[in-house]
Amino acid sequence: MVGNGFLRHFAARTASSDFGFHLSHAISASRIIRISKLLFPARVLNRTLMGKGRLKCPLPALVCFACVAGGVSVHADHSPFPHLWKVPAHSNGMTRAILFTPDGVQLISAGEDGNVRFLRRSDRGLVTNITAHTGRVSVALSKDGSLLASGGADGLLTIWRAADAALLRSFAAHTSAVTSVAFSPDGNAVASGGGLDNQIKIWRVADGQWIRTITGNNRFGIGSVAFSPDGRFVAGSGPELWLLSDGSLVRTLGDSSRDDVKFSVDGSRIIAQQLYTILVYHVVTGLLEGLLPSAIHRPLSAFSPDGRSLISISGPELVWIDFRSRRVITSHCSGLEPCPDSNLYRSIAFDPQMRAVALGTEAGEVVLAELPVWISNIQSSGTNMTIQWQGGTGPFQLQSIRDVTSSNWEDTGPPVTGSTVSVPIDVSATFYRVRDLGQ
């Protein structure tokens, strides 16, 4: 049986090795021990675990491992983000914004050509095209997906019914371009960021009535606006934080971040981009908690729906980050060959089912890229262990083996379409892998 002493020895032997796999958890029959995530190659994993043979990994891009009763869980770290499809969506400029509908069935893109396009995820077919504005467009969906807000270079804020793209109301919101829009969590209010006029305006959705104007202090203007998940706060470029109820300033967190301000899923953190960096602030204390370096001067990011991870566009790569530990899960090109230059991606969105990401490109395209499978959580309760993962398309098959030098993996239970399974904790060391049958 592999025990905790093995883990210490293993970490010591592999700390300086070539990168290839992630060591993420130690599991015993009584508890789960979380340790620092290290990276190590398959040959070292095999030599250290069994001392013989070669690790059998016929589908490295599709497999995650979990060793029960005192072992480790690992996953492949060389899996690309294979693109499922790519389609030209906008002419005369880049795809500025990309969204999934809440059910994940459609994608919504907005471009510099003034158009908003609804695309079917299943076959990339065009559902609806809206000529919404002149020039660049920013978009947001209400939480229930029933309403779409768009803002344009023409200074207009427009509300649409998402089901049939019917125009509900449109009004002059700012004297400069509307660079960002966002719905409050309850859908009763919409915020518009006015770019160079340095103003955030709050509007009542039901009748388009202006509620209040918030003036920012960022020297770059308002390039991004976001509501906290509980609806108490509104954040804008800086980042700065205001109370929604009266527009009073709560705190200024910074003064040099303009774009991509957003709240974490639980509302406890604000992230914002700065030159070559993604900043992580604590909402209550206002302290800067972390820096996520980027290879490009204006990185963009998107939270997974469960808040566990963050996808960032960084240089020619997509970087998938465990948000809790700030460690990289995997970092690769999206599967497009040759590897694109650092300016290819200009917008990003996370699939509600956490299976894929949508990307808007410099050339006005929309790309749907699959996430590799990642074991995101392992928990024990009594005599059972629950394994959770993200990524892949599914269905998924949990398989088990006792000797990882063997190729005789056995199916454990039937295939599942979800991303969670529960298995009994074995008294002996057992390895599990999750295969994506959809690939």
pTM: 0.77
248-252, 360-364, 413-417: least confidently modelled range: 360-364
Taking only the tens place, the pLDDT of each residue in 306-323 is 888 888 876 556 777 877
Taking only the tens place, the pLDDT of each residue in 33-57 is 332 333 333 333 333 333 332 333 3
The rounded percent of the chain whose pLDDT value lies above 90 is 40
Is 7 a residue whose pLDDT tops 80?
Answer: no
Is the Cβ–Cβ distance between 310 and 301 less than 8 Å?
Answer: yes
Per-residue confidence (pLDDT) for residue 435, from 0 to 100: 85
The overall average pLDDT reported for the chain is 77
Residue 405: which pLDDT band, with cuts at 50, 70 and 90? Answer: confident
Q: Region 223-250: what's the mean pLDDT? A: 95
216-220, 338-342, 389-393: least confidently modelled range: 338-342
Is 221 a residue whose pLDDT tops 90?
Answer: no
Is 217 a residue whose pLDDT tops 50?
Answer: yes
Packed helices 42-49 and 4-14: angle between N→C axes, nearest 10 degrees? 140
Q: Region 342-368: what's the mean pLDDT? A: 85
Please give the C-alpha separations between residue 66 and each of 11, 150, 158, in angstroms, as whole numbers.
17, 45, 49
Taking only the tens place, the pLDDT of each residue in 77-97 is 345 566 788 999 998 889 999
Peptide bond into 102 cis (omega under 30): no
Six token digits for residue 226: 């976001």
Most trustworthy range by pLDDT among 10-14, 372-376, 382-386: 382-386
Please give the C-alpha separations between residue 19 and each of 43, 66, 316, 330, 363, in angstroms, as whole numbers.
11, 19, 19, 11, 33
136-150, 156-170, 211-225, 270-284: least confidently modelled range: 270-284
**How many CA within 13 A on the CB side of residue 115?**
17
Domain boundaries, the chain: 4-78+374-436, 83-370
Taking only the tens place, the pLDDT of each residue in 327-347 is 777 665 544 444 444 447 888
Is 68 a residue whose pLDDT tops 60?
Answer: no
Is 22 a residue whose pLDDT tops 60?
Answer: no
CATH number for the 83-370 domain, one of 3.30.559.10, 2.130.10.10, 3.30.930.10, 3.40.50.720? 2.130.10.10
Taking only the tens place, the pLDDT of each residue in 108-163 is 999 999 999 999 999 999 999 999 999 999 999 999 999 999 999 999 999 999 99
What sign does the CA torsion over 210, 215, 220, 223 have?
negative
